[in-house]
Chain A
Amino acid sequence: MIDYQYLKPKSLEEALSLLESYGERAMLIAGGTDVMVGIRNGKFAPEALISLRGLEDLAYIEKDNDAYRIGALTTHRMLETHPLIRSELSALYDGASQVGSVQIRNVATVGGNICNAAPSADTAGPLLALDAVAVLKGPRGERNVPLSEFFTGPSQTVKELDEVLVEFRVPAVMGEYGSAYHKHSRRKAMDLPILGVAVSLKVTDGKIEDARIALSVAAPTPIRAKRAEDFLTGKMVSEDVLEEAGKIAGEEASPRDSLRGKAWYRREMIETFVPRMAQKALERLKNR
């Protein structure tokens, strides 16, 4: 039978000390949209749930000289409705605004989306393509982990049991990039991506100065397509160049056959959507 204690610490310190004393027997819960589903399915059976919902000051979207700072408890709805995210970190807007449904987005957090570490997480690709860094706090202090090093496998991350994710930092320079994310799914709501493609580009006078390409559901974890990025860097924008980048990204990925989609189809969608998202990113840059 489903049975657990529900603890609601009032401060981060209290949360950390509860985590320490319960160890493996406890689980953090933010919006609960992954945790509760997992408990129902029998995937998790924690003795205690440590809720982060008392830590309201961890829900924020800010920008300073160095970085955009997004609190771990920021909901997808907050991201989706924040003008800064929409105009400057557009890929993240694309990802957050397509999670589940409005009801889900009102409670589900970006921290939960990343810590749950599903290969299909809709904000993972965008945050990867935006060079985000995850800030973790634990008994040994604070550490910054680039998102590209955060995921270690499906549902697995470098985050230790006694650590809490507190913030994402996106370097301020990313505001100069154009970015876009495509969620390839069969339905327009209440669906997970068969494949996700995020692209961010920095372009001057038609020349690609820097490129980031992130793929989700294309490998056991969300990944960056570095060879495709390198290929693009320094090239003049053209349809052929973008197509070629798509092909390279397709080769870099290691998608698998699953109930939700076949590997060959996923690979072709990478080839299709890397150039399409690059175009969308360029258009957004132009329209700024």
Chain B
Amino acid sequence: MSEYLYVGKSIPRTAEVDKVTGRAIYINDLKRPGMLYGKIKYSEYAHARIKHIDTSKAKKLPGVRAVLTGCDIPDVRVGFLKDQTVLKRDKVRQFRDEVAAVAAISPEIAQEACDLIEVEYEELPGVFDPFEAMKEDAPLIHEVDARGRPVSSNILPLPWRFSAGDIEAGRAASAHVVTDTVRTTWVNQCCMGTSGCIAEFDMNNNLTLYNQANVIFWDKRRIMEYFAQIGLKNSKVRIINPVVGGSFGTKLDTDIYEFIAIQLALKTRRPVKILFTREEEFRALPPRQPAVFEIEQGCDKEGHLTFRNVKAVLDNGAYTSWGATTPSVMMMPISSLYRVPNVFFEAKCVYTNNIYCQAMRGYGNPQATFAVEVSMDHLAEEAGIDPAELRLINCNHSGDETPMRLKITSCGLEECIRGVKEKLDWDKKRGKHKGRGVGMASLIHVAGGARVYKSDGHGMMIKVDEHGHVDVMSGGTDQGQGSPTVLAQIIAEALGFRPDDITLTFGDTALGLWDAGTHASRHTFIAGNAALRACEKVKRQILELAVEEIPKLVKHQIKRKKRKDPDFKEPDLDFSLIANPEDLDIKDRIIFCKKDPENPYFRTEVSNVLREALHVGTGQSRVVAAEAFYDPPTEMLDREFKGNLSCTYAFGTTGVEVEVDKKTGEVKILQLYAAHDVGKAINPTLIKGQIYGAGYIGVGYGLTEEMKLEKGKVMNPNFLDYKMLTAKDKIPVTPMIIETDEKDGPFGAKGIGEPGLVPTAPAIANAVYDAVGVWIKDLPITPEKVLQALKEKREKEK
């Protein structure tokens, strides 16, 4: 494959010079003429009735342009289950409930006005644990559903139930069975850039929303739906992304602050910006969905898995966003990580007065993989089989169809497990229980799109101008993930241009064709495939023009030469060699004749051809532009949650060696190997960047990060008490790139955005067990928990 010029090369990221020199324009930097600043007044209770809101003092504050409460705007429900309103009128159900909002000439004045709003509450009993909330006498979070019908339970009407094969038969065939209770908690996405948007209406009530959405077309749809309900049926909506400082899932749903900005802009007729503080980011942004799993798993005497039976309870918080849909992804590792014939999975999402959740890198997969992989090690011990061996015995392979009906195409899992095993010196190091230990865990994830919406498509438009500049308009978004560089490499390779020639425009609903969003690790795969198809058309157009224009250019050239040099001998050129587009190709922006590549007369810059074709002086001028829309040949999950929702799947294994200080409970990571089947590394440095970054977040998930909630209140809304790892907490991550050349991937590539994070925490948990003999099945694995478990172990052994 060495014939590629750009694919497979570690080309530096394209737009990053502006970022590191402070030139890039984030939402923080963006100002619109006449712009006002919005601030939100949040609830002071986890659960309370609103008795009275007095905004009179706030309205009198100089500089305030609008104060809104739930009574000032249409009482319209929004959200995935339409279970909340934009500003809360009667009741608050969590501390982040938006009770009022202010627009003012500065953020400070807006904040001061918020503080001047007086709200009288009548506190209601709250419920902060999903198991408590399921009890019959638990206080109801919502008394009625979206249609106003009374409800009798806090359990959400979501049918997360998956069944394949026969659990009883699986149990009967088992020689060994283990059960575990596994818990994961809230973690914040910790984007470098905090959330924000600017809402701006023109005089015809058309909205331009500058925001960080990573699914701009769904964002537009949700806002259009909202507009239809508030009497703005004829308004148009345009979403534009400024430079985005990371999303990690946070920008998947349309958040309440966006609707608030829209309402404030409508009211004031001025652009309104809302920008979260870091504290708001922790308190009022939906974090990763926590879950408690009961997992039961068995294997026969030889170690073949016989069944997996999993029940999960999810603390949904007070309202519903994408967090409640994470079971659809949890099903993937539960049903399909390793070969397991009989699977049952059921998840209950339960309303509580806690913060509600949404997407975060991995989308339910890290939670479920933690359960599956801790259980795998437990089962291995029960069966007396080496945990790596148990994984190899049950390894997924190319050609498999899993109980969820996922069709496994290329699959490097075995290579990943073996590779990690070797690097860790597994056989020598494992099983010592002397303070040092090794552990591993693997993953499966979608890597060729994910048909969660009826279209998983991506539209791309490409034009090439007379200067040879290639402009690409992608319907996708750039969250900082690096795929713009990768796309430039793909397009350069496919067109025969250089990556530098290519300018990409993302994140604008007015400029791009539909795209299902930058999520599910799909951008490189799906946009890459769209790019290949668009490039084919563009290249064809260029070569068609070349067939017409090159002979003319050559004749001009010869004429010029003759004029200059009367002795010039006209070369004997065979124009039949370049009579058809198929006879020509492009490399490094130069069109050449395939059969006579070095012939200088048949070699010309693309721009020369395009200029000739444009400036013709008759009504015949032409330009080069094409679009392509790629929707992968995949299926929606059916009613039983089965179907091949992705073109291909990513596999990977993380192996760690840890040292546990038995007197402090601290876990130190000595080595971390992350082996990933990436299909093809289009840009190895960027792949490694994804693996490093995901590895860090994974270690944070495993060891240090947790949002601490006390009766619904986030107690650590800052980076001092929220223990995201710093650059000084060096984690020795070694990425291992395994290429399987995926047949449907652009140049063989698969998605890699999320996978690195997924197996990290369980690998650590398993290594801790190997080191000191205690299993911490409750994330994060804090020193306190380790020390406590060691004590209990000692007590038991007495």
Tell me if A260 is interfacial: C-beta within 8 Å of chain B: yes
Minimal beta-carbon separation of B768 from chain A (angstroms): 16
Tell me if A192 is interfacial: C-beta within 8 Å of chain B: yes
Asked if B112 contacts A1 (CB within 8 A), the reply is yes
Minimal beta-carbon separation of A250 from chain B (angstroms): 13
Asked if A272 contacts B729 (CB within 8 A), the reply is no
Minimal beta-carbon separation of A225 from chain B (angstroms): 18
Tell me if B79 is interfacial: C-beta within 8 Å of chain A: no
Asked if A259 contacts B721 (CB within 8 A), the reply is yes
Minimal beta-carbon separation of A229 from chain B (angstroms): 22
On chain B, the residues within 8 Å of A188 by CB distance are: 726, 728-729
When chains A and B are docked, how far (Å) is the Cα of A226 from the Cα of B211?
A: 59
When chains A and B are docked, how far (Å) is the Cα of A187 from the Cα of B720?
A: 10
Of B112, B728, B784, the contact of A265 (CB 8 Å cutoff): B784
Task: Give the residues from 59 to 103 in chain A that come closer than 8 angstroms, CB to CB, to chain B.
Answer: 101
Tell me if B708 is interfacial: C-beta within 8 Å of chain A: yes
Known A-B contacts A186-B704, A265-B783, A272-B663; A191 and B720 likewise in contact (beta carbons under 8 Å): yes
Asked if B664 contacts A187 (CB within 8 A), the reply is no
Asked if B727 contacts A189 (CB within 8 A), the reply is yes
Minimal beta-carbon separation of B52 from chain A (angstroms): 26
- A contacts with B, residue count (CB < 8 A): 19
Task: Give the residues from 175 to 229 in chain A that come closer than 8 angstroms, CB to CB, to chain B.
Answer: 184, 186-192
On chain A, the residues within 8 Å of B784 by CB distance are: 261-262, 265
Asked if B726 contacts A190 (CB within 8 A), the reply is yes
Residue of A nearest to B277 (CB): A40
Known A-B contacts A259-B716, A259-B721, A260-B721; A187 and B728 likewise in contact (beta carbons under 8 Å): yes
Residue of A nearest to B782 (CB): A186
Tell me if A145 is interfacial: C-beta within 8 Å of chain B: no
Task: Give the residues from 135 to 188 in chain A that come closer than 8 angstroms, CB to CB, to chain B.
Answer: 184, 186-188
**A101, A187, A188, A269: which has the most chain B beta carbons within 10 Å?**
A187
Of B108, B109, B715, B725, the contact of A187 (CB 8 Å cutoff): B725
Task: Give the residues from 241 to 288 in chain A that come closer than 8 angstroms, CB to CB, to chain B.
Answer: 259-262, 265, 268-269, 272
When chains A and B are docked, how far (Å) is the Cα of A125 from the Cα of B729?
A: 24
Residue of B nearest to A194 (CB): B783
When chains A and B are docked, how far (Å) is the Cα of A188 from the Cα of B725?
A: 8
Tell me if B463 is interfacial: C-beta within 8 Å of chain A: no
When chains A and B are docked, how far (Å) is the Cα of A192 from the Cα of B723?
A: 11
Task: Name A's interface SS.
Answer: loop
When chains A and B are docked, how far (Å) is the Cα of A190 from the Cα of B726?
A: 8
On chain A, the residues within 8 Å of B663 by CB distance are: 268, 272
Asked if A187 contacts B112 (CB within 8 A), the reply is no
When chains A and B are docked, how far (Å) is the Cα of A188 from the Cα of B115?
A: 37
Tell me if B787 is interfacial: C-beta within 8 Å of chain A: yes
On chain B, the residues within 8 Å of A186 by CB distance are: 704, 723, 783
On chain A, the residues within 8 Å of B719 by CB distance are: 190
Asked if A187 contacts B716 (CB within 8 A), the reply is no
When chains A and B are docked, how far (Å) is the Cα of A1 from the Cα of B107?
A: 10
On chain B, the residues within 8 Å of A192 by CB distance are: 720
On chain A, the residues within 8 Å of B787 by CB distance are: 265, 268
When chains A and B are docked, how far (Å) is the Cα of A106 from the Cα of B715?
A: 30
Asked if A1 contacts B108 (CB within 8 A), the reply is yes
Asked if B715 contacts A259 (CB within 8 A), the reply is yes
When chains A and B are docked, how far (Å) is the Cα of A101 from the Cα of B719?
A: 14
Interface string of A1-40 (1 = CB under 8 A from B): 1100000000000000000000000000000000000000
Asked if A187 contacts B783 (CB within 8 A), the reply is no
Asked if A189 contacts B108 (CB within 8 A), the reply is no
Minimal beta-carbon separation of B527 from chain A (angstroms): 37
Of A1, A184, A187, A272, the contact of B726 (CB 8 Å cutoff): A187
When chains A and B are docked, how far (Å) is the Cα of A191 from the Cα of B112?
A: 31
Task: Give the residues from 679 to 736 in chain B that come closer than 8 angstroms, CB to CB, to chain A.
Answer: 704, 708, 715-716, 719-721, 723, 725-729
On chain A, the residues within 8 Å of B708 by CB distance are: 259
Of B664, B715, B720, B728, the contact of A269 (CB 8 Å cutoff): B664
When chains A and B are docked, how far (Å) is the Cα of A260 from the Cα of B716?
A: 9
Residue of A nearest to B726 (CB): A189
Task: Give the residues from 764 to 798 in chain B that come closer than 8 angstroms, CB to CB, to chain A.
Answer: 783-784, 787
On chain B, the residues within 8 Å of A189 by CB distance are: 726-729
When chains A and B are docked, how far (Å) is the Cα of A156 from the Cα of B92?
A: 39
On chain B, the residues within 8 Å of A261 by CB distance are: 784
A sample of 22 inter-chain contacts (CB < 8 A) reads A1-B112, A2-B108, A101-B726, A184-B664, A186-B783, A187-B723, A187-B725, A187-B728, A188-B726, A188-B729, A190-B720, A191-B720, A192-B720, A259-B715, A260-B721, A261-B784, A265-B783, A265-B787, A268-B663, A269-B664, A272-B663, A272-B664
9 closest A-B pairs (Cβ-Cβ)? A189-B728, A188-B728, A272-B663, A189-B726, A186-B723, A188-B729, A265-B784, A1-B108, A259-B715
Q: Told that A187-B726, A265-B787 touch, could you supply 15 new A-B pairs with CB distance under 8 A?
A: A1-B108, A101-B728, A186-B723, A186-B783, A187-B725, A188-B729, A189-B727, A189-B729, A190-B720, A191-B723, A192-B720, A259-B716, A261-B784, A262-B784, A272-B663
Q: State the B residues within 8 Å of A (CB).
A: 108-109, 112, 663-664, 704, 708, 715-716, 719-721, 723, 725-729, 783-784, 787
